Amino acid sequence: MRVGQPSARGFRGLRDTMPIRNQANPPHGGRLVDLLATGEEAKALRERAASLPVVRLSSRSLSDLELLSVGGYSPLEGFMTEADYRSVVADMRLASGVAWPMPVTLAVSGDEAGSVGEGQEIALADETGGVLAVLEVAEKYGYDRVLEARNVYRTEDESHPGVAAVYAQGEVLLGGRVRAFGLPKHDDFATYRLTPAQTRAEFARRGWRTIVGFQTRNPVHRAHEYIQKCALEVVDGLLLHPLVGDTKSDDIPADVRMRCYEVLLQNYYPADRVVLSVNPAAMRYAGPREAIFHALVRKNYGCTHFIVGRDHAGVGSYYGTFDAQQIFYEFEPGALGITPLMFDNTFFCRKCDEMASLKTCPHDGDARVTLSGTQVREMLKAGVAPPPEFSRPEVARILVEAMQERVTPHHAI
Ligand SMILES: [Zn+2]
């Protein structure tokens, strides 16, 4: 058969003569970083760490350490040095030119920095003092928090939660390579904590070539289910990848969300088309830049496509509705290596009598079942389930129960 000649089974000839790319997307920068030592190396590292000065990480930095360790932040091999940091803040690129939108830095107080010299090693510990990694401090440097806020978050307003976190952190950044010998301990979601190497292996096992990643820090309602299923019509599989690191206190807690995802997948998704795994990252609420960041991290987990909805990773009214989609066009084709799938507002339309979006439904607002986040919260607090056109009843039940438990003995969340 001639190469590329279509047959009843597709481009069979092409597949016979060309290597089949039957594994997930190559990692960002080309190689999946693995900073986690094992065996004798881990043992030696742990012993060395015992004699080093210890820096306890905030929960956000701990999330970063975990993602660095497992390669979720490939090609990063540690906390950013000054050249990378400045280039990322100014240009959304590492000093090497590789696209990268968010600083990944380790901020410490002046006192902590004073006791560490460049070229020295320090031990990185979790909040209880458990040491997990060694950082080779290549550089310590000062930085301009307001510039970071303005460029990365597009606002200097300290009431923005991501900006507030930058303003609250230490005034010196420590940059350098990390070697880890342990991952942060988690009591929850143990079976859902797949590393990028593990999701990639799972995709390969299932024979998926195209995988769409879905970032969420909310329960999945019908609108998001619809978007995911639109994507599933054209790709092999879905990585439902909820973020379970730090979020705002008024976001729905991760354990409740996980129960919602489980019941939704059991009842409404084909099991062989979805992988549910958690992303240990913390939310930064940086809107457009964080949308790029979320996409690149999912690329490292093996995704070829990534869903970007309205106001992705936004908070309040800091970002325009489509800013997080537009920003993808600021990169040259190929610079990101993952295809964004961009969606508009979706809803159930009573006249269409199906799920639809502003792109597909000609009817007016009266026909559409839409509820704001605030309206949904008020309904749940009052013990009222959102309508089935908005939420699957199994999901609504979990949310109502969870909200009642939280409202009754404590103040409203
Ligand atoms: Zn309609």
> What's the farthest any 2 CA atoms get from each other in the chain?
72
- Tell how far the Cα of 342 is from the centroid of ligand 1, in angstroms: 20
243 forms bridges with which residues in the sheet? 279
Rounded to the nearest angstrom, the distance between the alpha carbon of 356 and the centre of ligand 1 is 7
**Which secondary-structure segment (H or E) carries 41?**
helix 39-49
End-to-end alpha carbon distance in the chain: 65
Please give the structure tokens belonging to residue 291: 């949308």
**Active-site amino acid positions:** 217-218
pLDDT in tens, the chain (413 residues): 334 333 444 344 344 444 445 456 899 999 999 999 999 999 999 999 999 999 999 999 999 999 999 999 999 999 999 999 999 999 999 999 999 999 999 999 999 999 899 999 999 999 999 999 999 999 999 999 999 999 999 999 999 999 999 999 999 999 999 999 999 988 888 889 999 999 999 999 999 999 999 999 888 999 999 999 999 999 999 999 998 887 777 778 889 999 999 999 999 999 999 999 999 999 999 999 999 999 999 999 999 999 999 888 889 899 999 999 999 999 998 999 999 999 999 999 999 999 999 999 999 999 999 998 889 989 998 999 999 999 999 999 999 999 887 655 444 44
Q: How far is the CA of 364 from the centre of ligand 1 (A)?
A: 7
Residue 359 C-alpha to ligand 1 middle, in angstroms?
10
Strand partners, 37: none
**CA of residue 361 to ligand 1 center, whole Å:** 4
Distance 369 CA to ligand 1 centre (A): 10
CA 110 – ligand 1 centroid, Å = 58
- Give the integer Cα–Cα distance in Å for 240 and 268: 14
Which residues on neighbouring strands pair with residue 93, listed in sequence order?
Answer: 99
Nearest-angstrom CA–CA distance, 167 and 387? 41
Neighbours of ion ligand 1 (CB under 5 A): 349, 351-352, 361, 363
> How far is the C-alpha of 218 from the C-alpha of 224, rounded, in Å?
10
Q: Is the dihedral of CA 311, 312, 316, 320 positive or negative?
A: negative
